[in-house]
Amino acid sequence: MEIQTSEIVGFIKDLVHIPSPSGNTEAAINYMKSFLEENNVSFTMNNKGAVIATIKGEDDSKHRLLTAHVDTLGAMVKEIKNDGRLKLDLIGGFYWNTIEGEYCTIHTNSGKMYTGTVMMHQTAAHVYKGMNELKRDEKNMVVRVDQEFHSKKDVEDAGISVGDFISFAPRFEESDSGFVKSRHLDDKASVAILMHIIKQIKQSSITIPYTTHFLISNNEEIGFGGNSNIPKETVEYLAVDMGAIGDGQATDEFTVSICAKDSGGPYHFALRKHLVALAEKHNIGYKVDIYPYYGSDATAAIRSGADIVHGLIGPGIDASHAFERTHVKSLKQTADLINVYLQSPLV
């Protein structure tokens, strides 16, 4: 299987431009359903709204499952202020300063959408002395809506209400040097990789040794995915999610990250060793890392009592949950490792 990073990047571009904060992922899931139908891949839906695609293998008695998630960070309208601005409540684990100045969209219950900007209420250097010293938090951060709103009533009359979802502009860019910059690379970069793998298997009529499921989950950022519907034959579960980069971390933007441990504890040692051995055998660049402030859908599956061998790999993502960036080399190394893993024996 020849990995085409241009197609992976194309899928990323499509996905990040589909708003899908946790709790409001229907459009992204519909995109995935259309993709699976176009590639003649059978799938089911669970009641939580996640997609489980299945490709039959030579052995149908023991199954594998790979997962990536389309839900992203976002926000909700918490309060409508008397001046027509909106207070926010955050969806997912991120910090207020990472969205300051970001363009956003308010999605109303009626389907109307309004644009705006997330900002400090006291953003006017000629008015608010010491504004740089104020705390970025739910008290001071607001959305300035791009409408002529002078009062709370103006906002309500336009159809905006408490509980409306707010999505952030992705600002997708691909550089000539191979970097991909965008919000929501967590975890739409991994979803794009799985899409490419699925398409390659189907179009090339590749036979895989074990029946394999691809769970596209939609609630990972809030701590749970589609794990109540793991097919009972599943014995191996591999989450494909970002590798986080920072001081003290081994992960970079040019290799695949193999996670040894996260906030939920160690990943299955035999599966981790198997993934490392595959990477070394096939000359795939990799880094083994530990993420103490991280939890994947694989961790959620173990916590929910799933009787599985679990692992976690993914492309290295710089500035996770903020101004994210990766490189096509990391996308390729991750796809290459998944490719050889799918052809390998169970641990």
User: Distances from the Cα of 228 to the Cαs of 59, 91, 210, 267, 301, in angstroms?
Assistant: 23, 22, 21, 20, 8
Q: Binding site annotation covers 321?
A: yes
Helix or strand run (H / E) with residue 64 = strand 59-69
Q: Binding site annotation covers 186?
A: yes
| HSE value, Cβ hemisphere, 13 Å, CA-based, for 240 | 31
d(CA 216, CA 182): 20
Helix or strand run (H / E) with residue 338 = helix 328-342
d(CA 129, CA 123): 10
The catalytic residue positions are 220
Length of the chain: 347
DSSP 7-43: HHHHHHHHHHTS--BTT--HHHHHHHHHHHHHTT-EE
CB distance 211 to 56 below 8 Å: yes
Q: Binding site annotation covers 274?
A: no
Return binding residues: 69, 186, 221, 241, 321
Return binding residues for Zn(2+): 69, 186, 221, 241, 321
